[in-house]
Amino acid sequence: MGAGGERTEAIMREIASLRAKRDELDSRIRFFEAQLRVGGASPPSTLPPSLSTKLDAMGVHAAAASGGLSPDMVRRYSRQLLLPEFGVQGQRRLSRSSVLVVGAGGLGSAVALYLAACGVGSLGIADGENIMHVEAYVGQPKVKSASAACRAINSSIKVFDHHLKLKSKNAVSIVRQYDIVVDATNSIASRYMLSDCCALLHKPLISGSTIGLKGQLTVYNHNGGPCYRCLFPNPAACQSSSDNGILGVVPGVIGCLQALEVIKVATRVGEPLSGRMLHFDALSSRFKTANKIHQKSSTCTVCGSNPNFTQDDFMMFDYDSFAQSTKSSNKPTPSLNPLPKNARVTCREYKRLLDSGRAHLLLDVRPVHHFQIASIANSVNIPLHELKEKLTRLRDALSEVADVSHGKHRPLYFISQRGDDSQVAVHILRENGFPYASDIVGGLESWAQEADPGFPVYW
Amino acid sequence: MHLTLEFGGGLELLLENSTKVHKVEVPPQDGENMVTMKGLLSWVKANLIKERPEMFVKGDSVRPGVLALINDCDWELCGGLDAELEEKDVVVFISTLHGG
Ligand SMILES: [Zn+2]
């Protein structure tokens, strides 16, 4: 792209940013206009004062116009106002509440949208990442896309973007501004951080999480219920969603349920999921609620009877290493002896071999479902964990290829996604008497960057 | 003793065919006439877990991040390792999730 193209792009960016600012100003104007309507002077009373006093004594009160809700609010929320459990009081409490949604991924965007639609007073969204999944917003902060969707669905509420990653250093000042916090983050470290912060500031925390086709939901720090640490004093080694697939509706389901719990906590209607935990299994369409989970623990370091965890401790606490500490000990990665140099080729070197048309075998050791998404032409899939058992049969095929290559070049190459498992595979072959295998350095991630820009990137 | 065991949150991946629900007959431990959670855990480890047992147990107990529920109630409220199981109890093991 030439200099002219770059300039056009810069102008487009400027326009987009100005438009976003204008939208934000518009929504604030609309909010204050709505406030004027809500707070409008009530009409003078037509009741004789003596009757008014008598009625008051009976507990019967003359109506304030629309129960204090503006005509716009009545129109907008009439369906939920008609719910006897919810009613005007529920709506009023909701309109006065402020909710912070931390994380604007699958969970957070669902929660935020429903909270905006039902009319919470102010809604904050905090996320430090840029977007990959909403076409119109690719490359922009996730919070911008999420907050724009919220403003589009309800311009009468306040929506605040916090385009930053919430950390112990900056969390207190932001969390303090809100009544209720939603955990829609995606790491163990941020989950401990947010729970500790909410426990210190006595804020209820609506916690949702998903991996793959499963989801969980509970409410922490509410009505004497437990905090995250009461339940899980030590971090667990578990899967991360970035390494695993996820079906968008699953966080959608859990996010909607989180919004529901927020509404219940904010309006004091119903029975929030405190001291209980809901589990959702999408494959079998089963919800399971553990009705009595661990109560608030008296020995909890953060919310117990002798908590010795102050705000200063919190600010200094290194959540990343805390979350890592047990991860590494529970899930040891096999330490590999480095492969000799001649047992490794770069993607470019392998590309040359491929283009030369010389006989060889390329084994792809990724899981089958990865291989099915995208693979190099003529490569053969043997998932790493099946390699050992298939070795005997492989040996015959390999010696054939080795004969054809006449020892002039190496006959066998391994590739994996990042280039780690392929090294493990080469080690396995070397240990089993087959020294002629090479791994392709950097795996398919490098292949897509250096050799084949058209390779479908799914990671 | 007849028990129903359920594994969730990814723990089912440690079992044969990733089966989530197991109806099992668990014998009392040596020298006892009942099944405790401690006994059940070692029975599960020996009879059901096919791979990476460290993702399920740590020492005598479940590893951090695993919730155990006896009839929908947190096992720590029922006595933890010493909790005595009864005929037809449903014991659920669920690993905590953290993705969003
Ligand atoms: Zn606690």
> What tokens appear for A273 in the block?
């999921």
Q: At which residue do the structure tokens 């976003």 appear?
A: A20
Higher-confidence position of B76 and B87: B87
Q: Do A214 and B10 touch (CB under 8 A)?
A: yes
Model confidence at B16, in pLDDT bands (50, 70, 90)? confident
Q: What H or E segment, with its residue span, contains residue A222?
A: none
- pLDDT value at position A174? 96
pLDDT above 70 covers a percentage of chain A that reads 88
Does the domain made of B2-95 have the CATH classification 3.10.20.30? yes
Q: Do A239 and B10 touch (CB under 8 A)?
A: yes
- Name the residue facing A108 among B95, B96, B100 (closest C-beta): B100
Are A384 and A412 in contact, with CB atoms under 8 Å apart? no
Sign of CA dihedral B76, B78, B79, B80: negative
Task: Work out the mean pLDDT of chain A and round it to a whole number.
Answer: 86
User: pTM of the full predicted structure?
Assistant: 0.77
With contacts defined as CB-CB under 8 Å, which chain A residues touch B18? none
- pLDDT value at position B6? 93
- The pLDDT of residue A41 is above 90: no
The model's pLDDT over B18-34, given as tens digits with 9 standing for 90+, comes to 888 999 999 987 777 88
Q: Does A427 touch chain B (CB under 8 A)?
A: no
Interface predicted TM-score (ipTM) of this complex, two decimals: 0.81
The model's pLDDT over A130-188, given as tens digits with 9 standing for 90+, comes to 877 678 888 888 999 999 999 999 999 999 999 999 999 999 999 999 999 999 999 89
Lowest mean pLDDT among A38-42, A205-209, A319-323, B24-28: A38-42
pLDDT above 90 covers a percentage of chain A that reads 54
Lowest mean pLDDT among A2-6, A76-80, B60-64: A2-6
Higher-confidence position of A121 and B33: A121
Model confidence at A333, in pLDDT bands (50, 70, 90)? very low
> What tokens appear for B28 in the block?
């009392």
Higher-confidence position of A54 and A117: A117
**SS3 per residue for A377-389:** CCCEECCHHHHHH
What is the spatial distance between Cα A183 and Cα A190, in angstroms, rounded to a whole number?
A: 9
Closest CA of chain A from B99, distance in Å: 4
Domains of chain A in start order, with CATH, are 11-23+69-328 (3.40.50.720), 341-450 (3.40.250.10)
Model confidence at A294, in pLDDT bands (50, 70, 90)? confident
Higher-confidence position of A42 and B31: B31
A98 φ, ψ (degrees, to nearest 5) = -125, 135
C-alpha B77 to ligand 1 mean position (Å): 16
Q: Does A324 touch chain B (CB under 8 A)?
A: no
* Residue B49, helix vs strand vs coil: strand
- pLDDT value at position A237? 62
- Name the residue facing A290 among B20, B74, B95 (closest C-beta): B74
- pLDDT value at position A313? 93
Strand order, beta sheet including A344-345:
A344-345, A437-440, A412-415, A361-364, A380-381
- pLDDT value at position B72? 86
Higher-confidence position of A195 and A38: A195
Select from A333, A332, A429, A344 the least CA-distant residue to A382: A429
The model's pLDDT over A253-291, given as tens digits with 9 standing for 90+, comes to 999 999 999 999 999 999 999 999 999 999 889 998 888
Q: Do A208 and B100 touch (CB under 8 A)?
A: yes
What is the spatial distance between Cα A132 and Cα A298, in angstroms, rounded to a whole number?
A: 43
CA Rg, chain B, in Å? Answer: 13
Mean pLDDT, range A4-32, rounded to an integer? 82
Cβ-in-10-Å burial (0-12, 13-18, 19+) of A347 comes to buried
| CB-facing half-sphere around the CA of A64: CA atoms within 13 A | 10
- pLDDT value at position A279? 93
Contact map slice: A 128-157 vs B, CB within 8 A: none
- Name the residue facing A238 among B54, B72, B98 (closest C-beta): B98
- The pLDDT of residue A432 is above 70: yes
Strand partners, B69: B74, B92
DSSP annotation of A212:
B
Q: Do A240 and B99 touch (CB under 8 A)?
A: yes
Pairing of strands A412-415, A361-364: parallel
Q: Do A231 and B67 touch (CB under 8 A)?
A: yes
- pLDDT value at position A242? 44
- pLDDT value at position A329? 40
Chain mean position to CA A402: 48
Strand partners, B67: B94
Higher-confidence position of A297 and A445: A445
